[in-house]
Structure 1
Amino acid sequence: MAVARKAAEAQTEIVPLQSCDLAVTDTPWAWAEDNAAAVKRFWNKALVDKPALFNGQVMVMGKHSLNGGCLSGEIHKTDYASFLYCKDKGLPAEAGIRNVFGCAVVRSSEGHLLFGRMAPYTATSGRVYPMAGTPDPEDIKDGKLDIEGSMQRELLEEAGLSTSDATRQPGYMLIEDAGMSAVCAVFDFDVPSRELKARMMSYIDLQDQPELDEIVIFRRAGFHVHHRMPGFARTLVQHLLD
């Protein structure tokens, strides 16, 4: 399995991908069923702090493999409460799943990266990362998880940007970190970063309850140290701006 690059600080590999083949199954996620009582207690407490949380259906990845530049895997349906409880436990190996998601990396005409900061009432409030989200039923196409469609949807819903206005770089970058499998693609917009940020913020300001409360511009790799970010996001900044 070829490795494109390793971020020095995060020690997280970026693996090039050409495609994803993620089949959705009706087989229940056994760990969630076994921990149903604990999930219920956790969710009730979570709602006290963040009543805007919604217990909808989401997708997680079970058995999976990497072969010939293709990520193949089995996708289980579950509820957000079970997924969030599993994340709170650190996505332990015994849970048998990974948090797989599509990640749209916005790059401006100068080569700057534009990430979003999550709003205070979200589960990941204050954290900065590219437009991304845990897949839901909208992302199922012909019985499979449509990673490409998912990242396009998240970019439009969170920041008001359409991938049709950008040049998509070929392939994907897979970053596996702390139970997460981020499938990332770079979208180049022929727009300066300040103008692009203003466009995104104008869209965010029109929403009653936006997922993001700020757009952060990264001009240099070292800027990531000033923000709360998951490992995969730091790796992207280092990889794309070094």
Structure 2
Amino acid sequence: MFLNNSPSFVENTSDQSDSIRLTTPSSSIIILSSTSTAGSSSNIVKFTTERITRLLKNDSLNYKVIKNSKTNLSSSCWEVFGFPSKKTNTQEFEIIPKFASCESCFQTYAYKPYSGTRILNSHSCVQKLLNKDKEGLSTGDKVIQMKLGTVMKCYKQIQLPQRDINLIKNLTSKWLCQDMRTFSIVEDTGLRNLLQEFIILGARYGEIDLKNVFRGADVCSKHIYELADEYRTILKGILKEPYENRCIRICPD
């Protein structure tokens, strides 16, 4: 008489009950029965998804949602869903089997462990949670970017005078043409001259972006040829008089 195609739960109670017996027939109906010593009268209550939803909303003293106690739950729906339960005569809450209820809106669905959680995951409260998590990740990325922006100082962008640009190019090119030993490079005169000029420029213009000062490898390579021609001209002027007076001596060292 209790056969039904949809999952349901039937409770058989008496006015003076002191024991509970669970029986599970071949159908999806589960009968919770209690016997009475005073008489054989009983009150049969059939649980459906609609009824459980209504009881959870309107009778919170006797019905509540219990969290899924299993660990390592992979589905996100269990952050929102639990199992509906009813208070027994011992004042303890007993899970109503074959149902799952939302803790927020108390919407109840038929649920069996082997049936999967696709329907539960499509519930609106679960979708809101997933969307909120996505927004949180997006906001977190923005916060990280803002923090990186504060850590990485933004230096002032300026247009250096051509005189200062040429000076830096000269110092860089000279440094590249001088001693290039690995560890002792920090002691190079060329490097120290270059750094000293940076300090002077910093004192003059404040905290400026190094990209406005340094030039790339191609520029330095081209400038080295220009410097070489310039120094050849200077050296030619220095050697002209000794050469004409036959006073030049070449040393192999």
TM-score by length of 2: 0.19
TM-score by length of 1: 0.20
Structure having the higher helix fraction is 2
Structure having the higher strand fraction is 1
Query: Relative contact order (alpha carbons < 8 A, sep ≥ 6): 1 or 2 greater?
Result: 1
